[in-house]
Structure 1
Amino acid sequence: MAAVRQAIAVTGASSGSGRPTAAAPARGGHAVGTVLDRHVLDRHVRTDIARNAEHTALGSAGAFTAEDVAAGHDVNVLAPHGPTAPSSTASL
Structure 2
Amino acid sequence: MSEIDDERQKRMDERFDRDKERLDKHDEKIDKLTELSTQMGEILKNQEKQLDGHEKRINDMEVKPAHKWELIVNAGLQWLVVTVLAAVVYFK
TM range (shorter): under 0.3
Structure that is richer in strand per residue: 1
Larger RCO of the pair (alpha carbons < 8 Å, separation 6+):
1
Give 1 or 2 for the bigger CA radius of gyration: 2
- Compute the TM-score of the two structures, normalised by the length of structure 1: 0.19
- Compute the TM-score of the two structures, normalised by the length of structure 2: 0.19
